[in-house]
Structure 1
Amino acid sequence: MIAEVDQNECIGCESCPAFCPEVFRMGADGLAEAYTNPVPSECEEAAKEAAEGCPAHCISIEE
């Protein structure tokens, strides 16, 4: 599974690292980034929850 953040759409709300800090973090520019790819199998559900909970709908998950 691969997680990606569209930084053109990210609003910097910090919800994705709250859901899944093992995969998402906030960059120096204040926008989220997926820094762990592929997503570890034990983090897949949390990464999906982060994508579903993103208010900007800017996280994509590829199986």
Structure 2
Amino acid sequence: MSEELVEGFGEIVVDFFDEGRSRRWSWWDRPAASALLAAAEDRDREFDAVVVGEYERAFPR
């Protein structure tokens, strides 16, 4: 799905996915999610956009 979303606009250069970890856990308690947060703070990161697969879980109310 991500590949289709970015087609014609860019490319996927890095993947942050916590396989086998509940998304109910804090972002800081999941290795890939915390790596994404750390990378997002880096001015020299290798990406300029983020594709979120299930936004309702990524940004709970």
Please give the TM-score of this superposition, normalised by the length of structure 2: 0.32
Q: Normalising to structure 1: TM-score of the pair?
A: 0.32
Bigger CA radius of gyration:
2
Which one has the bigger helix percentage? 2
Higher relative contact order (CA 8 A, sep 6+): 1
Identify the structure with the greater strand proportion. Answer: 1
